């Protein structure tokens, strides 16, 4: 059981690191650089690749997180009788919110951006501004998730 818990925790943390790192890279480096580009075909390709990466990594983070939590707790999902459980619950909740936010808000916007790069380039700066705002929201959510998860490790 110890090896399984360790493996699931490792996979969860690995994919979470990719998810948070991808959000950080997108917000701090890619989005500002793309906004300055004149070749929107490159922007379209970058955003599509980042979107796929983020979708895979966020989904695997959630999946391995659920499996890890299930195995670690013996199937008792609501362990709020401990400091660990109290820290995990908001982390889990915000993680799911960030996941849904990515698929409901960011993904459709990046698809609109990809379409705009080909059909209406004049709309790209406005869409990039929206991407920037939503990316910052996503990054803040993920930083909060990270903080609660790290905090739970010390209970």
Q: How confident is the model over 6-24, as pLDDT tens digits?
A: 999 999 999 999 999 999 9
95-154 pLDDT, tens digit per residue, is 999 999 999 999 898 888 888 878 888 888 888 889 889 999 999 999 999 999 999 888
Which residue matches tokens 């660990």? 84
What is the rounded distance in angstroms from the CA atom of residue 94 to the CA atom of residue 28?
21
What is the rounded distance in angstroms from the CA atom of residue 56 to the CA atom of residue 107?
12
pTM score, whole prediction: 0.88
Angle (nearest 5°) at CA 11 between 5 and 15: 150
What is the rounded distance in angstroms from the CA atom of residue 110 to the CA atom of residue 86?
35
Q: Are 154 and 107 in contact, with CB atoms under 8 Å apart?
A: no
What is the rounded distance in angstroms from the CA atom of residue 23 to the CA atom of residue 139?
6
Look over the chain and give the mean of its residue pLDDT values, rounded to a whole number. Answer: 88
């Amino acid at each position: 059981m110890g090896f399984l818990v360790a493996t699931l925790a490792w996979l969860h943390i690995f994919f979470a690191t990719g998810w948070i790192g991808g959000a950080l890279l997108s917000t701090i480096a890619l989005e500002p650089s793309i906004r300055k580009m004149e070749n929107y075909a490159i922007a379209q390709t970058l955003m599509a690749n980042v979107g796929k990466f983020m979708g895979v990594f966020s989904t695997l983070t959630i999946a391995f997180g659920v499996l890890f939590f299930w195995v670690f707790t013996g199937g008792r999902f609501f362990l709020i009788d401990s400091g660990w459980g109290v820290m995990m619950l908001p982390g889990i909740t915000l993680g799911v919110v960030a996941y849904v936010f990515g698929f409901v808000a960011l993904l459709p916007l990046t698809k609109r951006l990809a379409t705009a790069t080909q059909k209406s380039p004049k709309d790209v700066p406005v869409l990039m501004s929206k991407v920037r705002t939503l990316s910052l929201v996503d990054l803040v959510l993920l930083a909060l998730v990270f903080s609660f998860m790290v905090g739970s490790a010390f209970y």
